[in-house]
């Protein structure tokens, strides 16, 4: 089996590029089997896969459908709005065809 230390790293790059699809069971059975064979035979990729797998499990635990409290979301939106507006130049023009707003980044 190919090893990341060998000159031909194409299959390593292919396997690592598909790790998230593999973890989510979103690749077709043939591709899943090929990635699994590669991971079984390549210690470097398997180590990287293990890190990705732990990261995904952590994200799933921490983001498992819980929603931020309304007060926190409102504070975050307000902070983001203030940060954006502090870096922008805003021009509002009222005319016969309606109101136009132009937003430019401050220089």
Q: What is the pLDDT of residue 66?
A: 67
Q: Is the whole model's pTM more than 0.75, yes or no?
A: no
Tell me what percent of the residues of the chain surpass a pLDDT of 90. 2
Q: What is the pLDDT of residue 10?
A: 58
Q: How far apart are CA 5 and CA 85, in angstroms?
A: 50
Q: For the packed helices 43-62 and 29-41, what is the interaxial angle rounded to 10 degrees?
A: 120
pLDDT tens figures, 41-91? 888 887 777 777 777 787 777 777 667 788 988 898 888 888 877 877 878
Q: What is the pLDDT of residue 69?
A: 83
């Amino acid at each position: 089996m190919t090893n990341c230390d060998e000159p031909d790293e194409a299959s390593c790059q292919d396997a690592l590029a598909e790790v998230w699809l593999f973890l989510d069971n979103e690749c077709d059975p043939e591709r899943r089997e090929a990635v699994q064979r590669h991971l079984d035979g390549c210690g470097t990729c398997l180590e990287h896969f293990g890190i990705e797998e732990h990261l995904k499990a952590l994200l799933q635990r921490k983001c498992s459908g819980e929603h931020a409290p309304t007060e926190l979301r409102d504070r975050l939106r307000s902070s983001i709005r203030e940060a954006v507006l502090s870096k922008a130049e805003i021009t509002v023009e009222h005319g016969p065809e309606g109101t136009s707003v132009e937003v430019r980044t401050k220089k």
